[in-house]
């Protein structure tokens, strides 16, 4: 049975690392498997390539967002551009540019958008 958050979406498991290096796993079992793989890698039993493959399979994947998808996501979360920008740590102008298709989210912003889509804005609040 999967635990649900206040929006009825599945909860995610976060590693116990510093906030700047938090990993978000697809499930609790994925977190355990990934931790074991990290231990094997540190012990020299698992190659760097295999560790990358574990990263890809266990961590929440990122997806590309079209301009209309970002606007729909923000409206689904019932947030103004200012509130949405605040929670994502970007400027209101950048949210506006994303929604008009002038710029595309990258890096940490793209990861946060993916997580907001999956878990809701409350998850990053």
Q: What is the DSSP string of 54-73?
A: HHHHHBPPP----HHHHHHH
Question: Counting every residue, how long is the chain?
Answer: 125
Q: What percent of the chain has pLDDT over 70?
A: 80
How many C-beta neighbours within 10 Å does residue 91 have? 13
73 and 119 in a single domain? The answer is yes
More confident residue, 58 or 29: 29
- With b for 16 or more beta-carbon neighbours within 10 A and e for fewer, the 48-72 pattern comes to eeebeebeeebbbeeeebeeeebbe
Residue 79 lies in a domain: yes
Average pLDDT score over residue span 3-28: 52
99 with 53, same domain: the answer is no
pTM as predicted: 0.60
Instruction: Confirm if 90 and 98 have CB atoms less than 8 A apart.
Output: no
pLDDT at 2 over 50: no
Split at pLDDT 50, 70, 90, the class of 85 is very high
Helix %, strand %, coil % for the chain, to 5? 60, 5, 35
- Domain membership of residue 4 (yes or no) is no
- 47 is a domain residue: yes
Residue 81 is assigned to a structural domain of this protein = yes
**Domain presence at residue 52:** yes
Question: Can you give the pLDDT at residue 88?
Answer: 93
Give the pLDDT mean for 56-66: 80
Give the alpha-carbon dihedral of 10, 31, 48, 19, to 10 degrees.
80
User: What is the pLDDT at residue 6?
Assistant: 53
Residue 7 lies in a domain: no
pLDDT band, residue 20 (cuts 50/70/90): very low
User: What is the average per-residue pLDDT within 20-28?
Assistant: 65
With beta carbons less than 8 A apart as the criterion, state whether 11 and 5 touch: yes
Whether residue 29 is contained in a domain is answered as: yes
pLDDT band at 68 (very low <50, low <70, confident <90, very high): very high
- Structural domain boundaries, residue 77: 67-123
Q: Give the separation between CA 74 and CA 121, rounded to whole angstroms.
A: 9
| Number of domains, the chain | 2
Q: Are residues 51 and 78 in the same domain?
A: no
CATH of the domain at 79: 1.10.260.40
Q: Do 71 and 110 reside in the same domain of the chain? A: yes
Query: What's the token pair of residue 121?
Result: 């804005």
Is 6 a domain residue?
no
Looking up tokens 């793209």 gives: 110
Task: Say if residues 38 and 51 touch (Cβ distance below 8 Å).
Answer: yes
pLDDT > 60? residue 11? no
């Amino acid at each position: 049975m999967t635990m649900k958050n206040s929006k009825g979406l599945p909860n995610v498991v976060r590693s116990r690392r510093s906030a700047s290096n938090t990993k978000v796993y697809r499930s609790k079992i994925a977190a355990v498997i990934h931790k074991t793989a990290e231990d094997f890698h540190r012990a020299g039993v698992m190659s760097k390539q295999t560790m990358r493959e574990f990263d890809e399979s266990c961590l929440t994947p990122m997806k590309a967002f079209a301009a209309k998808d970002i606007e729909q996501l923000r409206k689904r979360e019932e947030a103004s551009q200012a509130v949405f920008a605040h929670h994502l740590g970007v400027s209101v102008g950048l949210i506006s540019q994303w929604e008009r298709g002038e710029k595309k989210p990258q890096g940490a912003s793209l990861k946060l958008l993916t997580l907001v889509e999956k878990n809701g804005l409350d998850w990053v609040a």
